[in-house]
Amino acid sequence: MSEMTPSSEELGGSVDSGSKLPGPWRCLLGAVVAGVLAIALYAMTASIAHSFATKPIHSDNYIVHRISAAVRTLVIGMSALGTGVFGFASLGLFGLGIQLAIQRLKGQSVPPASDG
């Protein structure tokens, strides 16, 4: 069978087996972008939670209450999950940027990225 996915050379890219880690400024810029997204998602999560808290369900049906509680929990949970993911990504990228900056200041060589 022939391979259906195009290689990176066919897409115009080159294969570089000794690719290096990104520079510290690129990591810090990524940390800022992820941090801004985390803050925006946190504000959205707080807004959604406040909206749900101020608008109770007006129904006497037990199943309606259970389903609406499940949907509200799911919506707030997904928003909080996105906030946490972008927050941790921001912290990780910031730490990587600091580590790379210290390695460059000490004159150590930056190890190539592993593909495994």
For 86-116, the pLDDT digits (tens) are 999 999 999 999 998 898 888 876 566 655 4
Helices 24-54, 62-106: inter-axial angle, 10-degree rounding: 160
Domain that holds residue 34: 24-106
**What phi and psi, each to the nearest 5 degrees, are found at residue 112?**
-70, 155
Domain count, the chain: 1
Instruction: Indicate yes or no: pTM above 0.75.
Output: no
What pLDDT, in 10s, does the model give residues 17-71?
456 768 889 999 999 999 999 999 999 999 999 999 999 888 899 999 999 999 9
In a domain, residue 113? The reply is: no
In a domain, residue 16? The reply is: no
